[in-house]
Amino acid sequence: MSTTTATDSNTTPLEFSSVFADLTPHVEALNACLRDQVAQFEPEIREMADYCIDTSGKRIRPALVFLSGWQDEAVNPELVRVAAVIELVHLATLVHDDIMDGADIRRGRESATRSFGPEAAVLLGDALFAHALHLAAQFPTTLVCSAVAESTRRVCAGEIIQTLRRGTTTVSREDYQRVIDLKTAELFRVSCYLGSHLAEFSEDYVTAVTVFGRQLGIAYQIYDDLADFFGQESKIGKTLGTDLGSGKLTLPLMELIEASPENERASILAEITGDRAPQPELRVTQMRELGIFGRVESALEQELFIAESALDQHVDLPPVPRLLSLISILRSQVASLRPNIKGKLPVGGT
Amino acid sequence: MSTTTATDSNTTPLEFSSVFADLTPHVEALNACLRDQVAQFEPEIREMADYCIDTSGKRIRPALVFLSGWQDEAVNPELVRVAAVIELVHLATLVHDDIMDGADIRRGRESATRSFGPEAAVLLGDALFAHALHLAAQFPTTLVCSAVAESTRRVCAGEIIQTLRRGTTTVSREDYQRVIDLKTAELFRVSCYLGSHLAEFSEDYVTAVTVFGRQLGIAYQIYDDLADFFGQESKIGKTLGTDLGSGKLTLPLMELIEASPENERASILAEITGDRAPQPELRVTQMRELGIFGRVESALEQELFIAESALDQHVDLPPVPRLLSLISILRSQVASLRPNIKGKLPVGGT
């Protein structure tokens, strides 16, 4: 699978979805499985659930399941089922996230909370969670149920900690790392674990790919936090600049604060605590001037380095070249955000 | 176990908790198990989760687990574990319910949504759900996980349907029955199913007690809806009169509408749709004048009759006398709400 390098600024970067070239039959089987699951819901909520499982999503976690457990082209029904479980959990967290964020847009259209109201959205998320676990319980042993339930709890814990820290300015880098480890890396990790385990790979490889998944998840969240400032709304499919507005102290903001003079620092902190109106456009301009993008990119690179290294001993296994291509794709996506490539201010107010 | 009869108006009615006389060691084991589970949460959310598992709750569902599977006095650790699973699911639904209802009081103190904010409460409920399923996955087979996940989804479906119907006046009795079957009776049902099944009773009895649990749950919800109009806030431990205010068309209101003259009907409907300010005190007075209490009580009695009948063939089994005492207790609780016993208007504005 060819990938665009970060320096190849004339080429359109590969989307995450390009990794699906070989995965088309797997993803079709996944989508059919998800539709089939939603058909088991009570009629009143079927339409709402259908709305959430729409096929425009990137399906990154299912891709990790399929690729970690890749033996050959054949579609393994166990992997399809476990991919559906994890995607349902992920979709449930998105529904609840959007309530937290008051987000109106998700994947380029109205969020569930906007369409159905936050009250129904709380319950719809619950129903998706519960159904995911019900599907997980259909495996012959309790392994999938146990792993997914534990991961789900950790994802929620990450989100809670993030919510509790909103508007506070004492978040350390360790706190940030821990939150993204819980809220994002956990499902990446469990996807790789279950994909490789159910495909009956060696314990050594299962351990290695689980580390890979976790690191890729951390890197992906850093990319996502970068995209919140440097992305294009039409491409990311969600409202931009929400992190500053909602008092979330992410890595780009931490770097900006550190690099800013004393008086400017106070005013950024006041935007985070909600004592001043947020000025995302000004902050992006400052990030450009102070080279914040490069700093964040290098933090992200460190995570990708650990991810790559984890697979060093297993390069001959069929999944590994495919998994490594995910790293290249993420790199090219990060590169596509780089301010000097864009040459224009990408943040639009919403 | 002696119970107060409905006609014995001079005696304080037995509380549901009195059934715990024999269950003290079981409930202590349950509380220890719940505390132990919460200790496994991330430090930041442990305190919040602790707040939710407080021991003032009625623990009706755990009691159903223990009583349905009653062999002798011995505490069965499997039943303790499954009771903890179901109670955690129930507590999670309470946390999310209170968000829906905007309720400030739960069990006589601040609700979780009031204490921690609705955003953290959404996620706290999720974490409790997820942890329940994680604990369920620790049984040797997937049976518990599967049953609990399916029940949870049905509970959520019931809540969603109820939420979608809020403020609408076209809810039929069948709709009402279906919603309470999903949102309340489902966990009563699965408590009886899992308690009896894990205690290795005969399939015949398991089926019978599952029917019993469902019917008791329906009757219990009708009681709860009656208490929303006829209860005493200090006793029920939550804000009264919320159903009318939140546009929930419950059985007492349905009966009132049916029994009211045309012009009054329109004004009650306008209170449900939110076109007029709700007047719960006036509506309770009208309910008294029109004998609505008796009508609802007789609907409730029909459900209890089916519950009792389900156990007819199994009266010699150790659980059955204990389960039947639950029916007597519920009857005495209903009787304690009866307006002619109280002799004063019990609804206070909040």
- DSSP assignment of A208-256 equals HHHHHHHHHHHHHHHHHHHHHHHS-HHHHTS-SSHHHHTT---HHHHHH
* Predicted local confidence at residue B57, as pLDDT: 77
Q: What is the pLDDT of residues A312-345, one digit of tens each?
A: 999 999 999 999 999 999 999 999 998 754 444 4
34-63 in chain A: CB under 8 A from chain B: 41-42, 44-45, 48
pLDDT number for residue A22: 86
Single-letter code of the amino acid located at A315 = V
**B287/B295 Cα distance (integer angstroms):** 10
Q: What is the pLDDT of residues B163-190, one digit of tens each?
A: 888 888 888 999 999 999 999 999 999 9
CB contact (8 A) between residue B149 and residue A137:
yes
DSSP letters, A299-313, are HHHHHHHHHHHHTGG
Please tell me if residue A309 touches chain B, with a CB cutoff of 8 Å: no
The answer to whether the CB atoms of A96 and B134 lie below 8 A apart is: no
Q: What is the mean pLDDT of residues A189-194?
A: 98
Residue A42 has what pLDDT? 83
CB proximity list for B91: less than 8 A, separation 6 or greater: B52, B53, B57, B128
d(CA A132, CA B134): 13
Task: For A128, name the nearest residue in chain B, comparing CA atoms only.
Answer: B153
Q: Which of A115, A131, A146, A181 is the best residue to mutate to test the B interface, defined by the most B CB atoms within 10 Å of its own CB?
A: A146
For A102-134, the pLDDT digits (tens) are: 666 666 667 777 777 777 888 888 889 999 999
Note the pLDDT of residue A6: 36
pLDDT mean values, one per 10 residues, chain B (350 residues):
36 56 92 93 85 80 97 95 96 83 66 74 88 93 94 89 87 93 97 98 98 98 95 64 87 96 94 93 93 96 97 96 93 87 44
Q: Which residues 278-307 of chain A have a CB within 8 Å of chain B?
A: none
Chain B residues inside the 8 Å CB shell of A139: 142
- pLDDT, position A217: 98
Alpha helices in chain B (DSSP H): 24-38, 43-52, 60-68, 77-101, 112-116, 118-136, 143-165, 173-180, 186-198, 203-230, 233-236, 242-245, 251-259, 262-273, 280-289, 292-310, 319-337, 339-342
Share of chain A above pLDDT 90, in %: 63
Q: Contact B150/A134, CB-based, under 8 Å?
A: yes
Give the angle A102-A104-A108 at the CA atoms, nearest 5°: 140
Average model confidence (pLDDT) across chain A: 86
**Confidence check on the interface: ipTM exceeds 0.95, yes or no:** no
pLDDT recorded at residue A239 = 61
Tokens of A124: 């719809």
Q: What is the pLDDT of residue B350?
A: 38
User: For A346, what's the count of Cα atoms within 13 Å in the CB-facing half-sphere?
Assistant: 24
Q: Tell me how many residue pairs between chain A and chain B have CB atoms under 8 A apart.
A: 158
Q: Could you give the percent of chain A with pLDDT greater than 70?
A: 85
Please tell me which residue of chain B has the smallest CA distance to A139.
B142
What pLDDT is recorded for position A344? 47
pLDDT at A105: 66
User: What number is the average pLDDT over the span A72-92?
Assistant: 95
* Cβ <8 Å between A120 and B163: yes
Q: Which residue has the higher pLDDT, A288 or A104?
A: A288
DSSP B278: -
Task: Please return the burial class of B270, using the count of CB atoms within 10 Å of its CB with bins 0-12, 13-18 and 19+.
Answer: middle
Spatial separation of the C-alpha atoms in residues B321 and B53, rounded to whole Å: 29
CA–CA separation, B283 and B270 (whole Å)? 13
Tell whether the model's pLDDT for residue A44 goes beyond 90: no
Q: What is the pLDDT of residue A246?
A: 86
Domains of chain B: 16-342 (1.10.600.10)
Q: What is the pLDDT of residues B83-137, one digit of tens each?
A: 999 999 999 988 888 776 666 666 666 777 777 777 788 888 888 999 999 999 9
* Gap from A29 CA to chain B (nearest CA, Å): 23
CA separation for the pair B163, B180 (Å, rounded): 12
DSSP B66-120: HHHT-SSSS--HHHHHHHHHHHHHHHHHHHHHHHHHT--EETTEE-HHHHH-HHH
Alpha-carbon distance values, A195 to A205, B142, B290 (Å): 11, 19, 64
Q: For A101, which residue in chain B has the nearest alpha carbon?
A: B119
Question: What is the spatial distance between Cα A91 and Cα A97, in angstroms, rounded to a whole number?
Answer: 10
Minimal CA separation from A271 to chain B, in Å: 20
Instruction: Inform me whether the C-beta atom of residue B129 falls under 8 Å from chain A C-beta atoms.
Output: yes
Q: Alpha-carbon distance A133 to A125, whole Å?
A: 13
Residues in a beta bridge with B105: B110
Question: Quick check: B131 and B89 in contact, CB under 8 A?
Answer: no
Report pTM: 0.83
Q: What are the DSSP calls for A85-138, one per residue?
A: HHHHHHHHHHHHHHHHHT--EETTEE-HHHHH-HHHHHHHHHHHHHHHHHHHTT
Record: contact B44-A134, CB cut-off 8 A: no
Does A88 reach chain B within 8 Å, measured CB to CB? no
What's the rounded Cα separation, in Å, for the pair B172 and B87? 30
